[in-house]
Structure 1
């Protein structure tokens, strides 16, 4: 079997010529084996009708196997010649022939240096695309962070609005005054708690 890589032929036929030859080879081999089984079966039936013969079914089997090996050996040599003809003539595309989808290559021919330039340009564009994707991902993460911060600020403002309403209900209209009022009450509460604690310690000592 030829080991030559026939890429252009595979593009045209839709299968590799080597695969086609392999399937043909296996099909011939299977057919040959099947024929030998049929012939052997016919000989065995004829043997049953014969009398006074030294032939046995096992000897016929050995003979058919030898004949099959002989036929396969000759078939392999013939198939090798047939494969050479098919791969070089029938399943081969000449080097000067272009497929219809590749006809544009005749009109637009580029030297190897131009091809290298195009590859460099492609790599450069790929690098720019990757950088753009990374920048978009970073921007998306920053927007998500800003959104979370905005939601937190809105909750704080709502809390201040609620605190301001509570202060208004208790007669304090200014939020700054409300904080001073809360601080003063907290200080008084701390002083009272300290006095209670001191008295409690004194009572335990007595």
Structure 2
């Protein structure tokens, strides 16, 4: 059998030419063996029809095997010639032939160095893409954080609006007066709380 890998032919046919030829060889060989067994069985049947025949089945088997060996040797030589013909004429793709899927290589030929440059560019673009994805994720996280801060600021503004409305209710027009008012009321509340705690302690002692 041929040792040439014939990769291009395997790509085109979907199987290696050597595998195809091997299967054909095995099929022919099996057919030869089956034929010889059939011939042997017919000869045995014919011998049984002749009374006093001195040829035994064992001798017939030896003769059949000898003839089979002779036929196999001739078959192998013939098949060797047939294999060479199949590999060269039938299952061979000429060197100047391009498969349809390889036409692009003819239109856009690249040397090994040019291909390496393209690979480097692809690697660089992949790195840039990863960096942009990471920057996008960081920006998204920052925007989420800004949303939280914005929500807190809105709460503070609402609190100031409520404070301003309360101040207007009590006739206080500025924030300074508002804080003074709150501080005074806070001190009054603290004093009341302290007075309540003292009275509570006295009651417990009694």
Q: How does 1:177-188 map to 2 (within 5 A)?
A: 177=178, 181=182, 185=186
Q: What do the CA deviations read for 1:76-122 (whole angstroms, capped 9, x no partner)?
A: 34323322332234433454x334757898898x7xxx724412321
Question: Could you say which residue in structure 1 is the equivalent of 2:79?
Answer: 79
How many pairs align?
Answer: 198
Q: Distance in 1 between matches of 2:99 and 2:41?
A: 53
1:19 paired with 2:13, answer: no
Question: Could you say which residue in structure 1 is the equivalent of 2:4?
Answer: 4
| Conservation of the 8 A alpha-carbon contact between 2:40 and 2:64 | no
Q: Distance in 1 between matches of 2:162 and 2:52?
A: 126
Question: Could you say which residue in structure 2 is the equivalent of 1:128?
Answer: 124
Do the aligned partners of residues 79 and 187 (structure 1) sit closer, same or farther apart at CA in structure 2, a change above 3 Å counting? Answer: farther
Question: Could you say which residue in structure 1 is the equivalent of 2:88?
Answer: 88
| Conservation of the 8 A alpha-carbon contact between 1:40 and 1:64 | no
| Conservation of the 8 A alpha-carbon contact between 2:6 and 2:16 | yes
TM-score, L = length of structure 1: 0.62
Question: Could you say which residue in structure 2 is the equivalent of 1:98?
Answer: 97
Gaps of 5+ in 1: none
Shift of 1:141: 1.0
Q: Between Structure 1 and Structure 2, whose CA radius of gyration is higher?
A: 2
Shift of 1:4: 1.0
Q: Distance in 1 between matches of 2:40 and 2:18?
A: 33
Q: Distance in 1 between matches of 2:121 and 2:47?
A: 80
| Conservation of the 8 A alpha-carbon contact between 1:25 and 1:79 | yes
| Conservation of the 8 A alpha-carbon contact between 1:36 and 1:64 | no
Shift of 1:143: 2.7
Q: What do the CA deviations read for 1:18-62 (whole angstroms, capped 9, x no partner)?
A: 122122122223323443454455456556766666745xx4895
| Conservation of the 8 A alpha-carbon contact between 1:9 and 1:92 | yes
Question: Could you say which residue in structure 2 is the equivalent of 1:140?
Answer: 136
CA RMSD between the two structures = 4.9
Shift of 1:145: 0.9
